[in-house]
Amino acid sequence: MPKVWIEKLLDEPELYLLRIDDDQVKYFEATWDIPEGITYNAYLMKSDNVVVLFDAWKKDYADKFLEALSSIVDPKDITHIIVHHTEPDHSGALPKVLEANGYKAKIIGTAFAKRLLESLHGIKENVRAVKDGEELKIGNRTLKFIALPWLHWPDTMITYLVEDKIIFSCDAWGGYSIPERVDDSDEGVVERYLPHVTKYIVTVIGHYRKYLLENAEKIKNLGIVDDVKMILPGHGLIWHKNPQKILQHYANVGLGASKKGKILVIYDSMYGFVERSVEIAVDELKKLGFEPVVYRFTDKEALAVSDILGDVPDSEALIIGASTYEANVHPRIRHTLYELLDKANYEKPVLVLGTFGWAGVAGREIEALLKKSKFDHVGTIEVKGRTTDEDEAKIREEVRELAKRLGR
């Protein structure tokens, strides 16, 4: 049952978090496995005769959202609604809010958001498009709107509350899962949360990694992050104690900063042939002092691609094992590779281990795909049927070559 949190964050301006823990969603955007769930965070600010709502929840929870809002304010009194991003997990409840509001509130978003509000929800009255960097005095506060295009839609912006040094960031600096706290005050909660942030960044924003890096630079140059007091995202934890931590984490994931020794190993094996090659590679990795993290697709196990993607950014290198299946790469690895190259395309070394029965395709095909990507293809070893002593020697040699690329 989704839990609702209504938390007062500040007295002046009077600022509230409205969070719902979506433990019903299983596949975010109908594709990413998130058994850990997700939260939708909206914020409400009351100050000097204005009531400003920042984003909302998804449509499924529109009634609950109105109920939560109404416990703080009469929806008719909302004077402004800031729409940072129109993806329906944040905007789905807006039509009901507007109905309860009597359509009085001024709606503020980018020009792109204005177009999307109309096409997605039929909202077209009272919508004001703001320009990148524009400042608006609302009550006794200055709201500065900063466009962050393609992070991860073209409509995206954040709001900087100038006097209070607070950033309302919607998807930026958010993450999956349902943290047991609302903010970053507990180190243990933060440490458990951060891997879900990595998975969120890669699956949701990874395709636009270039813009993630560009926008991080843009925000830095605006000088608003050095002394930011609070970051209030649309998903996950609020950053109050240490906002720099989430900024740094996003930067690390954007750059693919790796954890020394971590090698990601992904493979399929229908009857254990690829598995034998992978076991040899893993053994050699361990001898060299590496810590392999292994994901396998077998007749007993199929792990989520979204989890695999979340393990790419901080890996030093990858090993991909695949069997040939109907003159192609095994379907599970084919799908994983498609997402990997699209969402987690990093400049990291990759070793390929293929096996086949009569005419090998998997290794060759993966190699060709890697050569078109940012990954650094180290080598391919194709094994026909069972792995011979000669194959084993080659695999060990290529793993040592991979280690050399990593400076070991």
Ligand X SMILES: Cc1cc2nc3c(=O)[nH]c(=O)nc-3n(C[C@H](O)[C@H](O)[C@H](O)COP(=O)(O)O)c2cc1C
**What is the nearest approach in angstroms of ligand X to the Cβ of residue 321?**
8
Candidates 150, 153, 196; CA nearest to 174 is 196
Kindly tell me which of 134 and 367 has the beta carbon lying closer to ligand X: 367
Buried b (16+ CB within 10 A) or exposed e, 198-229: bbbbbbbbbbbbebbebbbebbeeeebbeebe
What is the token pair recorded at 121? 């929800």
In angstroms, the CA 129 to CA 125 distance is: 12
Smaller CB separation from ligand X, 41 or 323? 323
Phi/psi of residue 17, nearest 5 degrees: -100, 135
Stretch that binds ligand X, among 14-22, 148-156, 219-227, 263-271 (CB under 6 A): 263-271
Closest CB to ligand X among residues 85, 296: 296
Q: Is 43 in the site for ligand X (CB under 6 A)?
A: no
Residues 314-343 that bind ligand X (CB under 6 A): 323-327
Q: Does 274 bind ligand X (CB under 6 A)?
A: yes
How many Å apart are CA 41 and CA 25, to the nearest integer? 15
- Stretch of 94-102, 167-175, 208-216, 273-281 lying at the interface with ligand X (CB under 6 A): 273-281
- Total residue count of the chain as it appears in this document: 408
Nearest distance in Å: CB 282, ligand X:
15
Cβ closer to ligand X: 1 or 359? 359
Q: How far is the CB of 384 from ligand X (least distance, A)?
A: 8
Binding to ligand X in span 351-370, by CB under 6 A = 355-360
Calpha distance 392→276 (Å, rounded): 9
In angstroms, what is the minimal distance from the CB of 272 to ligand X? 5
Rounded least distance, CB 325 to ligand X, Å:
5
Contact 266, 204 (CB under 8 A): no
Kindly tell me which of 101 and 387 has the beta carbon lying closer to ligand X: 387
Which of 3, 386 has the CB closer to ligand X? 386
By rule CB under 6 A, what count of residues binds ligand X? 19
Interaction between residue 381 and ligand X (CB under 6 A): no
Q: What number of CA atoms fall less than 13 Å from residue 403's CA on the CB side?
A: 19
Q: How far, in Å, are 267, 283, 388, 392 from residue 276 at the CA level?
A: 11, 11, 10, 9
Nearer to ligand X, 9 or 308 (CB): 308
Q: How far is the CB of 334 from ligand X (least distance, A)?
A: 13
**Minimum distance of ligand X from residue 270's CB (angstroms):** 3
Beta-strand ranges (E) seen in 245-390 are 262-268, 291-297, 317-325, 328-329, 349-356, 376-384
Strands 80-82 and 50-54: parallel
Residue number of the CB atom closest to ligand X: 357
The binding site for ligand X (CB under 6 A) comprises 269-275, 323-327, 355-360, 385
